[in-house]
Amino acid sequence: MPRTGVKRAFKYRFYPTDEQAAELSRTFGCVRKVYNLALAARTEAWILRQERVNYNATSAMLTAWKKSEELAYLNEVSSVPLQQALRHLQMAFAGFFSKRAKYPRFKSKRKSRASAEYTRSAFTYRKGALTLARVAGPLAIVWSRPLPAGAEPTTVTVSRDGAGRWHVSLLCEDAAVQLLPALSTAVGIDAGLDHLLTLSTGEKIANLRSERRDRERLAKAQHVLSRKARGNGANRSKARQRVARIHARIADRRRDHLHKLTTRLVRENQTLVIEDLNVRNMVKNRRLARAISDASWSEFRSLLEYKAQWYGREVIAVDRWFPSSKLCSICGTLANAMPLNIRNWVCDGCDTTHDRDVNAARNLLAAGRAASACGDGVRPQRKPPGGRSSVKQETPAREG
C-alpha cells in the first residue's frame, strides 16, 4: 500500500520590514532567555538534589517568570515559541539520558542560531500569505519553489543566520515523496579528498573544494575583522557579518552539490554501502582538518540516509576498520602495508593492478552485501588494535 507522503520542511528567504525584524529579534532573545533559564534550573536540580525536572515543571516555571517584574518582558512576545523552546530542551535531555547526545549547552547570543518555532495556533497561512502571532502583516517570502499541492504547514520556524539572512521553514506533508520501484543495483561508496567519492562502478566524483575557492577572500575578511576593536561596535559587527556571508556562500555551494549527488545515488541504486567514518576524531589531525571539514562527509551521510528512507532504499555502513584499501577485491589477498602515497598497486596473489580508491569501493560493496545477507545492517564497531587513532586509511597525507 503506498504511503500518504512524508513530513518535509520547505525553506525560503524572506525580507521583513523594520517593525517585523524588531519583533522577531525580540522573540529570538526571549526564546534564548527561556531556554537558558530552564536549562539552568534543570541542571541545578540534578546537581543539588539528583532530581529530574520535566517539561511540565519548566512550563510552570515559565508562568512564574512571566509574572515576575524582572522577566515581565516575556509577555511582549508570542507564548508559543517560548513553550516550543522548553519542548526542544526536553528533547535535548531525552537524547542525553538515552546516550545519543551530549549534555545540553546554553545558547549564546552570537554563536547560537537565532530562531523561533510557531505551531498552528500561532500562525495563519492563506493563499501564500504567512502571518505570525504578534508580528504585523504577512511576511514578504520569496517563493523559490511551490509548496506541495494542497499542503498545509503544521509548523513554521523563522530564523536569522550569521550573515543576516532571514529564512522561514514550513513543515508540510509532501505526498509527492513515494517509495521508488525496487532495483537490483547496488554500489559501494569510498569517500576521499582527492576525489570526494569513488564508486564501485569505477566512477570518480570530483571534490569541489568549496572552501578553497573562497579562501583568499575569507582570509582577507577575517584579517579585517581581527583588526577591529573588540566589543559591540558597528564596524566590528559589519566585519563579522562580512565573514559570515562568505562562510554562508561556501556552505550553500557545498550543500547544493551534496543534495544533487545524494539524490542521484539514491534514485539509481537500491543498496548503498558506505564506510562508517568517525569524522569527529579525524578532524583532530591538524594537517587535514580543513580539507576533511570542507568535504563534509558527515553531511553526505546524513542526506543519503534520510533520502534512502524516503524512497525505500537501503544504506549499509561497514565497520571503519575493515581493510578496504589493502584487500584485493579479486582474490582476497591482504597486502601487508599500504602507504597513503600509493594510489595504484599490484596484488601479490593474482597480479591484478588496482586503483586504490576503486578497489576500496568494491571491497566495501562486497562487505555490505555480506552484512545485509546476514541481517547485520551496520557492522558493529571494534576498537582498533594497539590504540590506533580513528583516521581514514584512504585519506592522503596532506591536503591536495
Strand partners, 170: 10, 156
User: How far apart, in whole angstroms, are the C-alpha atoms of residue 353 and residue 330?
Assistant: 10
- Taking a C-beta distance cutoff of 8 angstroms, is the pair 205, 196 a contact? yes
The DSSP line for 216-249 is HHHHHHHHHHHTSPSSS-HHHHHHHHHHHHHHHH
User: How far apart, in whole angstroms, are the C-alpha atoms of residue 141 and residue 133?
Assistant: 16
Residue numbers annotated as active site = 190, 275, 357
Residue with cell 518535509: 8
331 C-beta neighbours (distance < 10 Å), count: 12
Residue with cell 539520558: 97
In 5-107, beta strands by DSSP E: 6-13
Look at residue 284 and give its three-state secondary structure. Answer: coil
- H or E segment and range at residue 46: helix 18-49
User: How far apart, in whole angstroms, are the C-alpha atoms of residue 243 and residue 3?
Assistant: 44
Q: Residue 146 phi/psi, 5° resolution?
A: -75, 155
**393, amino acid identity:** Q
User: How far apart, in whole angstroms, are the C-alpha atoms of residue 23 and residue 13?
Assistant: 17
User: How far apart, in whole angstroms, are the C-alpha atoms of residue 120 and residue 83?
Assistant: 13
**135, amino acid identity:** V
**88, amino acid identity:** H
The 10 Å CB-count burial string (b at 16+, else e) for 240-277 is: bebbbbbbbbbbeebeebbeebbeebbeebbbbbbbbb
Q: Residue 96 phi/psi, 5° resolution?
A: -70, -45
**Quick one: cell of 45?**
536540580
The alpha carbon dihedral of 181, 184, 188, 194 has a sign of: negative
